[in-house]
Structure 1
Amino acid sequence: MSHHISPEQLARYRETHRKRREARARALAARREQAWAEARKAARLLKEEFGAQRVVLFGSLVREGGRFFDERSDIDLAVWGMGWRDLLRAWSRLNASPFTFAFDVMLIEDARPSLRERIEHEGVNL
């Protein structure tokens, strides 16, 4: 059974696809912008309330200009100068209101050497 699509129908399908692709790109750009704002806010919280000496954003939000950051992405932060107890308390705060993104926060000394190297090379100090 063969289905014939007229040139007009094909043009409408293509236009609809183009509009959806552009809308998704705009939504992802807005999501990346919001994630950057929340990452900066989280870094301030980690430093001011939990004593972090340094906070570095890494992962999909910074890799290749955020190209891999999508609807399911979280915000990855590496911290220096915090202990486990403070990290757990901070993680609990970050993954609650008023933040809208999930955070993955790690102590830099717990990172395996290859990840630590990537964080130092690709990460962004906040």
Structure 2
Amino acid sequence: MAGPLASYRDTMRRRGAQARREQERCRCRAQETARHVAEYLRHAYGAARVVLSRPVAGEEVPLGPQSDIDLAVRGLDKADYFEAVARVQDEAVSFQVDLVRIEQCPESLHEVIRREGCDV
């Protein structure tokens, strides 16, 4: 006969597995959204490169309800930046997107983009 501790362990395993599946679904949705936004930026604004930050790209950091998508873009005209930021929010629907122009990033952010980002 299984005791209360065994029942507790089984419940915790099921909850852990469910949480991992939900994390994977959320990460997949965020990555798909990032790809969609990147395509939009390339077609609508002529962006030459769009880089996704590590938290959404990798599996090391769990995504939560307030998680956003951090994108760095090269080739987005300075005059189009604010319009692009507004349009990207419409394209992203269920995620907040933080968009930076690579050309205006400080060197420390350039280094993070080079080290941890991935092209989308």
Name the TM tier (shorter chain).
0.7 to 0.9
Partner of 1:110: 104
Cα RMSD after superposing both structures: 1.7
Count of residues paired in the alignment: 118
Q: Which runs of 5+ in 2 are unaligned?
A: none
Report the TM-score when normalising by structure 1.
0.83
Partner of 1:4: none
Structure having the higher Rg: 1
Matched, 1:70 2:69: no
- SS of the equivalent of 1:68 reads coil
Q: Which of the two has greater helix per residue?
A: 2
Deviation at 1:43, TM superposition (A): 0.4
Give percent identity, aligned residues only: 36
Q: Which runs of 5+ in 1 are unaligned?
A: 1-6
Higher RCO structure (Cα 8 Å, ≥6 apart): 2
Deviation at 1:67, TM superposition (A): 1.7
Instruction: Summarize the Cα distance change of 1:110–1:66 in structure 2 as closer, same or farther, 3 Å threshold.
Output: farther
2:32 to 15, 29, 37: 37
Judge conservation of contact 2:51–2:73 (CA < 8 Å) in 1.
yes
Judge conservation of contact 2:37–2:91 (CA < 8 Å) in 1.
no
Judge conservation of contact 1:59–1:75 (CA < 8 Å) in 2.
no
